[in-house]
Amino acid sequence: MKLRFMKLGFLGLLGSLWLCPCLAYKVRQRRELPASQIQTVQELTVALPLLIINMTNCTGLIRDGSLATNVSFHASDYQHDLPFVMDCAAGFYAVLGDFMAAASEGPSPCVPEDLRTYMACIVAASCIVQAAVPAHVSMEVYAMILEQVTRFEEITWPLLRDALLHEEGGNSLAVDALLPEAYICDGSEHDHAFLQFDAKTSRETSLRQLTSMVGTEHAATMSMALDLKAAAAASHQIMNSHAVNASLDETIDKLQQAWHPVCQKLGCDHTNFWDIYLQHHKHALALLETKHAGLLRSDIKLRFHLEQRVQRFMADTQDYSFIEKYARHGQEHHSSHQVFHAYHDSARASMLEFAKSVVGSLSYERAKRLVNLHKLADIEKEAARKERSAERSASSHASGRPSEDEAEEANEKMQLSLLEEVEDEGEGAEAFWDRRRRRRRRRRIFEAVVKVVVQVVETVVEAVTAALACAGQGGNFVSTGYTRSLNGNVAWSIGLAGGSSDIMKDILNGQGPLGWISLGAGFSVGSTTDVWWAGAGFGGSIGCNARYGWRGKSRGSCTMDLTVSTLACGNVPTSSSACPFGRNFAGMTCSSSGGYFVSIMCCSFDLTNGGNTCR
């Protein structure tokens, strides 16, 4: 927390980067959103999680594209990669642009060409959405977005920026630009309830002020908010002051004491950080009821920052007894898991419903900006195929006269035009009149096949739903095994869960299995060292098997489909049955890491060579 403010303070001094303050849409003046802007803000709400998926994917490809299979993009220098990053954010910027154009007089400070403003503009968009909560966007939907944006801001964006910064020509990214204050809601008035309390403010005064904002029926929730904030602050302070040779047991003791009173009220196991973390979501569920978006925002950040501090502490101390005694992963109460999943499931389900209805209400031209046009074309092809076979069976029942040829031709043309459009956007240098002509032709086709056009809007809904299908699930990351970090960008960890250790040796050597084996596995693309993994990744268990063909048994593979999340966690050396060849083997150390995550997207991953695809 402190670090963050220092960072911002430092940037604030760089006056030249301060953007023109005259353009502001006054998000901070809790003004009612103009009716004409409601739909745009809802569209922006759907664009945000799609953007985070895009940018996470894009970060993985830029940091280490060589392991991504079936992708034609390969990172090189900044001028080459910039259009790729811009494309990942194209839909988001189109929607944000619509909003800004209607909200302010001057030009918008958020333009897709300026990567320095990306993070600030993403946060600004979340603040714009916050202004529509709870009237036009529910607390649950807002929670889903913030869980993603917070992780993106703290983990993924620094990785992407760092990768581009080190590319030739990328040094302009050295500092993130700041936006005018009107676009900022962190540390602004939405947070004021907390910010204006200093050490001198009595608990009663704070509680009275908080309760006056949300109503006396939420007094207990506000009291819990203060308790959690105090215990989290104490935890940071205790971990920050843990000296190199200090007694770990003493530090753990202090941490447990700090949480004892809170846990008595909240119902958590004060001796286990992960139980506290999971039960913290009970408070988040209570905050949803208060309908106060600012308090929800502060709480999500509070929970996330504490989790990150604990992970950092594990990486820094490299002492497994901290995990055994305080971060006892997997030993939480069953009810704590239920609370955690109840919160994320409700946020996720609300987002999906919301996205379906918002996208369904948009015009096709507007809706399709949000999704990858190649994927949309695939879905449309599939939908047209179904349509044709339905028509075919209908017409064979009725007149028997095959009218399908016409429909088929129209369908084909429509797909063609969609693909042309993809190419148009890729080339960029296409002549204006050419595009105009194509567009006109496309419109004629659309007019001709009204039925298909209706279906086309539905296919965008389908594309959005498919993209969001893997986002926002709460899950559990755990990995114990031999950990290897490659070139600082990719790391994996493989541990034995069941089967023969000979087969495991093959897999560690990059060969497919010659028999059955069950493994614990972890993987991360981002910034990885042997003690710290940050980026997009997963942890879990998989079974691998040999291939059986007519020639008998041959080497199989360990490929799996999984949900990938944003991770940042410490790896702590340990001895475990997952590492049957001892603590160190072939330059790898047996280590363990764990935590909870919120998923981003679905990927498949080949354990033997690290090859991966994110769809």
Measured from the CB atom, is 244 or 429 closer to ligand NAG?
244
Q: How far is CA 371 from the centre of its chain?
A: 16
Residue with tokens 């005259």: 22
* In contact, 464 and 50? CB cutoff 8 Å: yes
**Applying CB under 6 A, what is the total number of residues that bind ligand NAG?**
29
Applying CB under 6 A, which of residues 27, 47, 96, 407 lies at the interface with ligand NAG?
47
| 44 in contact with ligand NAG (CB under 6 A) | no
Measured from the CB atom, is 57 or 592 closer to ligand NAG?
57
| 51 in contact with ligand NAG (CB under 6 A) | yes
| 88 in contact with ligand NAG (CB under 6 A) | yes
Nearest approach, Cβ of residue 377 and ligand NAG (Å): 12
Applying CB under 6 A, which of residues 23, 45, 59, 92 lies at the interface with ligand NAG?
92
The torsion angle over the Cα atoms of residues 335, 341, 347 and 352, rounded to 10 degrees, is -140
What is the CB-side half-sphere exposure of residue 575 using CA atoms within 13 A?
A: 3
Applying CB under 6 A, which of residues 305, 337, 381, 615 lies at the interface with ligand NAG?
615
| 614 in contact with ligand NAG (CB under 6 A) | yes
Applying CB under 6 A, which of residues 54, 150, 476, 524 lies at the interface with ligand NAG?
54
Q: If you write DSSP's letter for every residue of 236-267 in order, what string do you get?
A: HHHHHT--TTS-HHHHHHHHHHHHHHHHHHHT
- In degrees rounded to 5, what are phi and psi of residue 272? -125, 110
| 500 in contact with ligand NAG (CB under 6 A) | no
Question: Could you tell me how many residues make up the chain?
Answer: 615
Measured from the CB atom, is 220 or 246 closer to ligand NAG?
246
Q: Which of 539, 514, 512 is nearest to 524 (CA)?
A: 539
| 173 in contact with ligand NAG (CB under 6 A) | no
Q: Which residue is nearest to ligand NAG (CB)?
A: 91
Between CA 61 and CA 42 the distance in angstroms is 29
* In contact, 566 and 598? CB cutoff 8 Å: yes
Applying CB under 6 A, which of residues 24, 75, 90, 355 lies at the interface with ligand NAG?
90
> What's the N-to-C CA distance of the chain in angstroms?
35
Nearest approach, Cβ of residue 375 and ligand NAG (Å): 6
Between CA 371 and CA 368 the distance in angstroms is 6
Between CA 126 and CA 316 the distance in angstroms is 33
Give the three-state DSSP class for 562.
strand
Nearest approach, Cβ of residue 122 and ligand NAG (Å): 11
Measured from the CB atom, is 378 or 404 closer to ligand NAG?
378
Interface region with ligand NAG, contact rule CB under 6 A, candidates 46-54, 225-233, 285-293, 438-446: 46-54
Instruction: Identify residues 55-84 at the interface with ligand NAG (CB under 6 A).
Output: 57, 61, 69-71, 73
Q: If you write DSSP's letter for every residue of 125-162 in order, what string do you get?
A: HHHHHHTTTTTTS-HHHHHHHHHHHHHIIIIIHHHHHH
Applying CB under 6 A, which of residues 244, 398, 429, 450 lies at the interface with ligand NAG?
244
Enumerate the β-bridge partners of residue 552: 549
Measured from the CB atom, is 8 or 71 closer to ligand NAG?
71
* In contact, 504 and 543? CB cutoff 8 Å: no
Structure tokens at 31: 């003004």
Nearest approach, Cβ of residue 256 and ligand NAG (Å): 24
Interface region with ligand NAG, contact rule CB under 6 A, candidates 88-96, 117-125, 163-171, 350-358: 88-96
CA angle 336, 339, 345 (to 5 degrees): 135
| 89 in contact with ligand NAG (CB under 6 A) | yes
Nearest approach, Cβ of residue 604 and ligand NAG (Å): 6
| 367 in contact with ligand NAG (CB under 6 A) | no
DSSP H or E run through 436: helix 432-448
Applying CB under 6 A, which of residues 601, 605, 607, 608 lies at the interface with ligand NAG?
601
Measured from the CB atom, is 61 or 160 closer to ligand NAG?
61
Going by C-beta distance under 8 Å and a sequence separation of 6 or more, which residues neighbour residue 22?
A: 105, 106, 180
Residue 71: DSSP 8-state: -
Can you list the positions of beta strands (E) in 57-191? none
CA 56 vs CA 62, 76, 188, 466, 536: distances in Å: 10, 18, 28, 16, 7
Interface region with ligand NAG, contact rule CB under 6 A, candidates 34-42, 268-276, 363-371, 545-553: 363-371
| 613 in contact with ligand NAG (CB under 6 A) | yes
* In contact, 477 and 569? CB cutoff 8 Å: yes
Q: Kindly write out the interface string for residues 203-242 of this chain, putting x where it contacts ligand NAG by CB under 6 A and - elsewhere.
A: ----------------------------------------
Give the three-state DSSP class for 535.
strand
Nearest approach, Cβ of residue 601 and ligand NAG (Å): 5
Applying CB under 6 A, which of residues 50, 128, 367, 452 lies at the interface with ligand NAG?
50
| 99 in contact with ligand NAG (CB under 6 A) | no
* In contact, 143 and 287? CB cutoff 8 Å: no
Interface region with ligand NAG, contact rule CB under 6 A, candidates 148-156, 368-376, 389-397, 547-555: 368-376
| 53 in contact with ligand NAG (CB under 6 A) | yes
Which residues bind to ligand NAG, rule: CB under 6 A?
Answer: 47, 50-51, 53-54, 57, 61, 69-71, 73, 87-92, 244-245, 369-373, 601, 604, 613-615
